[in-house]
Amino acid sequence: MLALLAPGQGAQTPGFLTPWLEDATSGALLENWSTLTDLDLVALGTTADADEIRETSNAQPLLVAAGLISALRTFAGQDLTFDYFAGHSVGEITAASLAQAFDGDAAMTLVNVRGRAMSIAAAGSNTGMSAVLGGEREVVVSALLALGLTPANENGGGQIVAAGSLEALAQLADNPPAGARVRPLQVSGAFHTSVMQPAVTKLADAAHEMDVNNPVAPVISNRDGAIITNGDELLARIVGQVSGPVRWDLCMATLAAQGVTGVIEVAPGGTLTGLVKRAQPGIELFAIKTPDDIEGAREFARTHGGK
């Protein structure tokens, strides 16, 4: 069984879209989405520096565009299907679109609202995020809650991202949970916490204008690892997930429980396959990074029954 995964914010690197845009069709698509979002996605994906593409309102549309383009280049017209789709945080929009719950233009419109709204919600909030690496899950979560912090991303493999006030994050860094170390993240606010509630409201308004279909194959939800087959429920979860924790650990557990034998991660691939490797070593992996990976991804998909 085969699953297609889409990475979230932080997977982008300067210039990573350059090789994908050597294809005229991909270039035209990105130009269209640049107009749709009022962002120069071509420049962001080819010449922008790390700070510019780290900005939430730039990073999120760029990542969704990259995932969609790489998947279309790799799988369109190949008579290949996937048993499950999943994406981490903003990657869930990519995954839902690849599962045909809504088209690429709708995905780009939605993620543009999401990125801008989350950036606005974060501004002046005096909040941030830190990765907590190692330690027992229960011990780490208890320590975060005692400081008023939220375990905003539970990524499995001993990686939990804490979110909340900068003061509490500083206290966490000074006194890490037993067996863990703390690494501050370069983000502008406490994503996937109640700080993002204003963004949920704006995203809900945008979602109300969308046409949604049931996905062609189930999408595994960030909220709780649930298998979602209804398009309306999927979109509602994508909206609400902005202010709720990402349980990627449960998504990976669902992949394993459903008998998935292989996962392919769309560009910029590598982050999620790395997490799956640590948490579910029985699942085979393929990360799409550049067009040089297209043939390998197709062969991998055929091997794992995606026909």
Residues marked as catalytic: 89, 192
Burial (0-12, 13-18, 19+ Cβ within 10 Å), 89: buried
CB burial string 258-291: b at 16+ within 10 A, e below? eebbbbbbbbbbbbbbebbeebbeebbbbbbbeb
Report the C-alpha gap between 97 and 105 in whole angstroms.
9
Report the C-alpha gap between 12 and 185 in whole angstroms.
15
Query: Contacts for 257-260 with beta carbons within 8 Å, 24 or more apart?
Result: 258/1, 258/83, 258/84, 258/227, 259/1, 260/1, 260/2, 260/3, 260/83, 260/84
CB 113 within 8 A of CB 106: no
Unique residue bearing structure tokens 């499950």? 84
Tokens of 240: 């609400």
Report the C-alpha gap between 25 and 117 in whole angstroms.
30
Tokens of 186: 């370069």
CB 209 within 8 A of CB 235: no
